[in-house]
A and B are shown apart, each in its own frame.
Chain A
Amino acid sequence: MPDHRAALRFALGRNGEHTDVMATRAQVMALLDSGHSVETAARRLDLAPGLVYMIATGRPADDSDSPHPDELRGRPVLPGGAQHLVNPPAQNPTRNQEVIDWVRERAARELRGSG
Chain B
Amino acid sequence: MTDIRLPAPSDWPVLRQLRGTDRLGRGAATKSRGSAALTARTHTADRVVKSVCPYCAVGCAQNVFVADDRVIQIEGDPDAPHSRGRLCPKGSASLQLTTGSSREQHVLYRAPHAADWERLDLETAMNMVADRMVATRRDGWEWEREDKRVRRCMSIAALGGATLDNEENYLIKKLLTALGIIQVENQARVCHSSTVVGLGTSFGRGASSTLPADLQNSDLIVLEGSNMAEAHPVAFQWVVEAKARGATIVHVDPHYSRTSALADLFVPLRAGTDIAFLGAIINHVLTTESDFREYVVAYTNAPTIIREDFEDAGGDGLFSGFDPDLPGYDPQSWQYQDAFVAAAAGQRDQEGNLPAQGPGGEGQRREDAGGEPQMDLTLQHPRCVWQILKRHYAGYTPEMVQRVCGVPQEVFARVCELFVANSGRERTTAFVHGVGWTQHTIGSQYIRAASILQLLLGNMGRPGGGVMAMRGHASIQGSSDIPTLFDTLPGYIPMPHAHSHHDLEEFVAGNAANKGFWGNMRDYTVSLLKAWWGAAATDANEFCFDYLPRLTGSHSTYDTVMEQIAGTVKGYILFGQNPAVGSANSRMQRLGMSKLDWLVVRDFSLIESATWWKDGPEIESGEMRTQDIATEVFFFPAAAHTEKDGTFTNTQRMVQWHHKAIEPVADQRSDLWFTYHLGHLIRQRLDGSADEMDQPVLDLTWNYPTEGPYDEPNAVAVLAEISGWRADGELLSAYTELKDDGSTSCGCWIYCGAFAEGVNQTARRKPASEQNWTGGEWAWAWPANRRILYNRASADPEGRPWSERKALVWWDAEQGKWTGHDVPDFQADKPPDYRPAEGATGPDALAGDDPFIMQADGRGWLYAPAGVAEGPLPTHYEPQDSPVRNALHRQQRNPSRQVYDHENNRYHPDPGAPGADVFPFVATTYRLTEHFTAGGMSRWTPYLSELQPEFFVEVSPELAGDRGLTHGGWAMIVSARGVVEARVMVTDRMTPLQVDGRTIHQVGMPYHWGPNGYARGDSMNELSAMSLDPSSHIQEVKVLTVDVQPGRRPRGAQRHALVTEYRERAGITAQTGMAP
Task: Report the separation of the CA atoms of residues A113 and B763 in the bound assembly, to the nearest whole angstrom.
Answer: 31
Q: Which among B47, B659, B716 is the interface contact of A88 at CB below 8 angstroms?
A: B47
Assess whether B840 is interfacial by the CB under 8 Å rule. no
Closest to B531 in A: A110
Considering the chains assembled together, what is the distance between the CA atoms of A22 and B880 in angstroms? 70
**B534: Cβ under 8 A from any A Cβ:** yes
Known: A96-B714, A99-B720. A79 touches B84 (CB 8 A): no
Closest 7 CB pairs of A and B: A63-B78, A22-B27, A104-B729, A7-B33, A110-B534, A11-B36, A114-B727
Measured in the bound complex, the distance between the Cα atoms of B22 and A19 in whole Å is 11
The reply to whether B714 and A111 contact each other, CB–CB distance below 8 Å, is no
Question: Is the Cβ of B50 less than 8 Å from the Cβ of A106?
Answer: no
12 contacts between A and B (CB under 8 A): A8-B28, A10-B36, A64-B78, A64-B85, A88-B65, A90-B47, A91-B50, A96-B714, A99-B705, A102-B704, A103-B729, A109-B535
Contacts of B714 in A (CB 8 A): 96, 98-99, 102
Q: Are A95 and B742 in contact (CB under 8 A)?
A: no
Closest to A9 in B: B36
Chain A residues with a Cβ under 8 A of chain B: 1-4, 7-8, 10-12, 19-22, 62-64, 66, 68, 72, 77, 79-81, 83, 86-96, 98-100, 102-104, 106-115
Q: How far is the CA of A72 from the CA of B21 in the complex (A)?
A: 31
Q: Are A20 and B28 in contact (CB under 8 A)?
A: yes
Q: Within 8 Å CB of A22, what residues of B? A: 22, 26-28
B147 at interface by CB-CB < 8 Å: no
Bound state CA distance, A59 and B27, in angstroms?
A: 15
Question: Which of B11, B35, B538 touches A11 (beta carbons < 8 Å)?
Answer: B35
CA distance A22 to B22 in the complex (A): 8
Q: Once the chains are docked, how many angstroms separate the CA of A28 from the CA of B226? A: 48
List residues of chain A with CB within 8 A of the CB of B743: 111-114
Which of A62, A100, A111 is the one whose CB lies under 8 Å from B530? A111
Inter-chain contact B20/A20, CB cutoff 8 Å:
yes
Asked if A102 and B742 make an inter-chain contact with CB atoms under 8 angstroms apart, the answer reads no
Looking at the assembled complex, report how far the CB atom of B33 sits from the nearest CB atom of chain A, in whole angstroms.
Answer: 4
- B432-440, B764-772, B848-856, B977-985 - interface stretch: B764-772
Chain B nearest CB: distance from A60 CB in Å? Answer: 9
Bound together, the chains give a CA A79 to CA B86 distance in angstroms of: 21
For A21, what are the chain B residues with a Cβ–Cβ distance below 8 Å? 21-22, 28
What 10 additional pairs, Cβ within 8 angstroms, besides A94-B759, A99-B705, A107-B725? A4-B11, A12-B31, A83-B48, A87-B65, A90-B48, A90-B49, A91-B48, A94-B760, A106-B725, A114-B727
Query: Which residue of chain B lies nearest to A100 when distances are taken between CB atoms in the complex?
Result: B758
- Once A87-B63, A94-B764 are accepted as A-B contacts, the answer to whether A4 and B32 lie under 8 Å apart by CB is yes
- How many A-B pairs have beta carbons closer than 8 Å: the answer is 179
Alpha-carbon distance between A19 and B84 when the two chains are bound, in angstroms: 36
B residues near A114, Cβ cutoff 8 Å: 727-729, 743
Q: Whole-angstrom distance from the CB of B157 to the nearest CB of chain A?
A: 31
**Least CB separation from A79: chain B residue:** B770
Known contacts A10-B36, A77-B770; A102/B758 CB under 8 A: no
Determine whether B690 belongs to the interface, using a CB cutoff of 8 Å to chain A.
no
Question: In this complex, what residue of B is CB-closest to A60?
Answer: B78
**Beta-carbon nearest neighbor of A75 in chain B:** B769
- Expressed in whole angstroms, the Cα–Cα distance for A40 and B327 within the complex equals 76
Minimal beta-carbon separation of A54 from chain B (angstroms): 11
Complexed CA–CA distance, A107 and B723 (Å): 13
Q: With a CB–CB cut-off of 8 A, which chain A residues contact B16?
A: 4
Interface size class of B (residues with CB under 8 A): 35 or more
Among B21, B79, B728, B758, contact of A95 (Cβ-Cβ < 8 Å)? B758
Residues of B within 8 A of A77 (CB): 769-770
Closest to A21 in B: B21
Q: Please, which residues of chain A bring their CB within 8 A of the CB of B29?
A: 20
Query: B244 near A: Cβ within 8 Å?
Result: yes
A100 to B35, CA, bound (A): 50
Contact B48 A19 (CB under 8 A): no
Q: Which of B21, B47, B84 contacts A20 (CB 8 A)?
A: B21
CB distance from B611 to the nearest CB of A (A): 38
B953 within 8 A of A: no
A94 near B763 with CB under 8 A, answer yes
Q: In this assembly, does B138 line the interface, its C-beta being within 8 Å of a C-beta of chain A? A: no
Q: Which of B75-97 contact A (CB under 8 A)?
A: 77-79, 84-86
B50 CB contact (under 8 Å) in A11, A92, A98, A102? A92
**B162 CB to nearest A CB, Å:** 24
B42 at interface (Cβ–Cβ under 8 A)? yes
Would you call B105 an interface residue if the criterion is a C-beta within 8 Å of the partner chain's C-beta atoms?
no
Residues of A with C-beta under 8 A to B760: 93-96
Contacting residues, chain B, for A2 (C-beta < 8 A):
8, 10-11, 33
B512 within 8 Å of A by Cβ? Answer: no
Given that A91-B659, A92-B765, A111-B727 are known contacts, is A106 also in contact with B79, CB under 8 Å in the complex? no
Which residue from B32, B237, B767 sits with its C-beta under 8 Å from A81?
B767
CB pair B767 A99 closer than 8 Å: no
Q: Complex Cα distance A3/B11, Å?
A: 9
Given contacts A11-B28, A12-B31, contact A81 B79 (CB under 8 A): yes
B761: A residues at CB distance < 8 A: 94
Whole-angstrom distance between the alpha carbons of A110 and B536 in the complex?
8
Are the CB atoms of A92 and B28 closer together than 8 Å? no
- Of B33, B79, B538, B745, which contacts A83 at CB under 8 A? B79
Chain A neighbourhood of B767, CB < 8 A = 80-81
Asked if B46 is at the interface of the complex by the 8 Å CB criterion, the answer is yes
- Give, as a whole number of angstroms, the nearest-CB distance from B245 to chain A: 9
Query: Which chain B residues lie closer than 8 Å to A79 at the CB level?
Result: 770
Q: Which of A12, A91, A95 contacts B28 (CB 8 A)?
A: A12
Q: Verify if B868 is at the interface (C-beta below 8 Å from A).
A: no
Task: Assess A103 versus B731: contact at CB under 8 Å? Given A72-B769, A92-B763.
Answer: yes
Tell me the bound Cα distance from A8 to B36 in angstroms: 6
Whether B530 and A7, one on each chain, are in contact in the complex, defined by CB atoms closer than 8 angstroms, is: no
**Contacting pair B535 A110 (CB below 8 A):** yes
Task: Judge whether B819 is part of the interface by a CB distance below 8 angstroms.
Answer: no
Interface residues as binary, B823-848 with A (CB distance below 8 Å gives 1, 0 otherwise): 00000000000000000000000000
Min Cβ gap A114→B in Å is: 4
Q: Which chain B residue has the least Cβ–Cβ distance from A97?
A: B758
Q: CB within 8 Å of A: which of B768-806?
A: 769-770
When C-beta atoms are compared, the residue in chain B nearest to A90 turns out to be B48
